Chains A and B, each alone.
Chain A
Amino acid sequence: MKQLVILSGKGGTGKTTVAAALAHLASKETPVVLADADVDAANLELVLSPQVQETHDFIGGQVAVIASDLCTACGICAQVCRFEAVIPPSPSPSSFGRGGGGAGGEGVRAYAVDDIACEGCASCFYQCPVEAICMEEQVAGRWFRSDTRFGPLFHAHLFAAQENSGKLVTLVKQQGRLRALDEGRELLIVDGPPGIGCPVISASAGADLALLVVEPTVSGIHDLERILATTNHFGVPALVCINKADINPSRADEISAFCAAQGIALVGRVPYDTVVTEAMVQGLPVTEYDNGPVSRELGRVWERVRERLA
């Protein structure tokens, strides 16, 4: 079983468009499993019409909760917290978050926790002299196993403003991997998140190949260099595909030269075409919607990816 991850560094370069197209094209030849590792903003489901088969809670981590009836307002919790997550019992209401305990109530003189800022380190829990603080597990999101016409899809929704997206990415991917091994499916396609930080590191862990989708802009090139340094750092071989290549042909040539200098194969130059947006509006991968230049080039991208994985 091979694991392919689609990354970009910069957001909005077309990762999901490419991932959906590859899911469509690959599934015609080999049994695949799909995983959407962009758990902040999961979009693969918008073009795969998934039928949800299973829903599970995701426990992200813990948050501190201060019992207002036990709190003596000594303020030690606020002193030890390095995340500005403890709200003192000042007369002014907290300016952010939902708060935790009972601050702001009539006559209450207790500290409270901003559960958005809280990182669950439990430092306050250990330092509170009257044991007024407990740590509570938080359901930080949900993950799903769905059926699609191309194969099983594992995807997730991290709740707004939650942490630990890397942990949820790892979980979604592991589930996809297990399913692929169970059913003898030969390819796991992972649609990755933007950036180079924790969710990206989780999405690339254990990948056999990364396909980097880049646009021919100064930002795109800058971000390609950083995502490529990241995949190199973790020892994941990479291929590059230029999206909207004709927006700036000379920048596309620059990317091509950069790839050549780095010894990275350039596997496609997908042109800009509004057909991509039209397909998205119809809820379809572009290759399923249309047979034009975009789909033909994505077909070539798939052939080269397949050769490389073989």
Chain B
Amino acid sequence: MIIAVASGKGGTGKTTVAVNLALSIASQRPGEVDSRSLGHDDATRLFLDCDVEEPNAHLFLNPTIERREEVGILIPEVDYDKCTFCGRCAEVCAYHAIAVVKQKVLIFPELCHGCGSCTLNCPEEAIHEVLNVTGAIEEGQASGVRFAHGILNIGEAMAVPVIHQLKERIGEADLRPQSVVILDASPGTSCPVVEAMRGADFVLMVTEPTPFGLHDLRLAVEVARDELGLPVGVVINRDGVGDRGVEDYCAAENIPILMRIPLDRRIAEAYSEGVTMVEALPEYRERFAELYRSIEKEVAR
């Protein structure tokens, strides 16, 4: 089961929900962990923080990082012994990342998408590709959860390649039917969010019951349900503020509201200190376990 946690609007509580959900599933059925996944405990709950621009989940999960890998995209490098300055590479580049001037080929790594078209089109085979590092992936363990996050380097524009390489951890994780992968997405509705949601079994939308929350929820549902064809459900956070817009929208669109988290100063204060909800208010452990069971039911529909 792969669950993406998204929202459209920022700051609605995606990371809070994703982290507490992961911790509550981890503690949900201790008996099963022993019998069915002996030796694979770390593969049964995988948490990937896909907000590579501003990753925050580690501040709550406090993982022990065991491995760090630099990632990025493959960019062209010209072999001047072979290059005839014909200009074909610049002509085929859809991103204007190459310019050929007199006896020089200028390459702009920040514009390159790493598509490799220049390499394939060079008639002299004068281009090879080298890794342009744009970020890193760190992996480790946190409270019985296998953890990884991507970190986009400062000044780099493209988050998608880092997210893509982060999500390759899903394929490497030796998942079994009862395994759960939680993807914590970034705010917004464009390419980084699509990259995070892609391949998920369910998208959990965390919203707040305000006009901004509703406006951005609609957009996020358009991406997840209408464009990607994924089932969606909503968590209303800070329930009690704002208006009834989100409720009315979910009813009209037949989107299930799977959990409500009230506006509670204790939750805000725990969050501000990097303390998880299940730690600060242990009664939420069962509520997040219940949320997971609701998601299972929705996916089984």
Contact = CB atoms under 8 A, between A and B. Distances in A.
Contacts of A195: 51, 53-54, 159, 186-188, 192
A287 interface: no
Interface string B88-99: 000010110000
Contact of A11 (B10, B121, B222, B272): B10
A218 B152 contact: no
B227 A98 contact: yes
Contact of A126 (B54, B92, B191, B192): B92
A226 interface: yes
A119 interface: yes
B190 A119 contact: no
A196 B154 contact: yes
A219 B211 contact: no
Given A116-B227, A126-B121, A160-B226, A280 B158 contact: no
Given A194-B54, A198-B158, A218-B274, 8 more contacts: A40-B8, A95-B229, A121-B113, A123-B117, A162-B190, A195-B53, A196-B54, A197-B152
Contact of A82 (B53, B114, B188, B215): B114
B15 interface: yes
Interface of B: 8-12, 15, 51, 53-54, 56, 59, 92, 94-95, 113-117, 120-121, 152, 154-159, 186-194, 198-199, 210-212, 215-216, 219, 222-223, 226-229, 241-243, 265, 268-269, 271-274
Nearest to A249: B272
A218 B211 contact: no
Interface string A83-124: 100000000000111100000000000000000110111110
Nearest to A193: B188
Contacts of B194: 116, 161
Contact of A226 (B54, B114, B191): B54
Given A10-B56, A123-B116, A196 B152 contact: yes
A310 interface: no
Nearest 7 Cβ contacts at the A-B interface: A11-B10, A12-B11, A121-B115, A195-B53, A11-B187, A40-B188, A198-B157
Given A10-B11, A166-B157, A82 B115 contact: yes
A40 B272 contact: no
A220 B202 CA distance: 28
Nearest to B14: A11
A143 B115 CA distance: 29
A41 B219 contact: yes
Given A12-B10, A223-B56, A281-B243, A161 B188 contact: no
A160 B265 CA distance: 34
B9 A12 contact: yes
Nearest to A81: B115
B94 A160 contact: no
A277 interface: yes
Contact of B223 (A13, A80, A160, A193): A160
Contacts of A10: 10-11, 54, 56
Nearest to B114: A82
A226 B154 contact: yes
Contacts of A116: 194, 227-228
A281 B211 contact: yes
A197 B242 contact: no
A306 interface: no
B271 to A, nearest CB: 6
Given A161-B227, A163-B190, A222-B56, A121 B94 contact: yes
B216 A41 contact: yes
A121 B274 contact: no
Contacts of A16: 212
A230 B159 CA distance: 14
Contacts of A9: 53-54
A122 B272 contact: no
Most A C-beta atoms less than 10 A away, residue of B152, B188, B198 = B188
A161 B189 contact: yes
B273 A126 contact: no
28 contacts: A10-B11, A10-B56, A11-B9, A11-B10, A11-B188, A13-B10, A41-B9, A80-B120, A96-B198, A97-B228, A117-B198, A121-B113, A126-B120, A158-B189, A160-B227, A161-B189, A165-B188, A165-B190, A195-B159, A195-B188, A197-B53, A197-B192, A216-B272, A217-B274, A218-B274, A222-B54, A223-B54, A226-B54
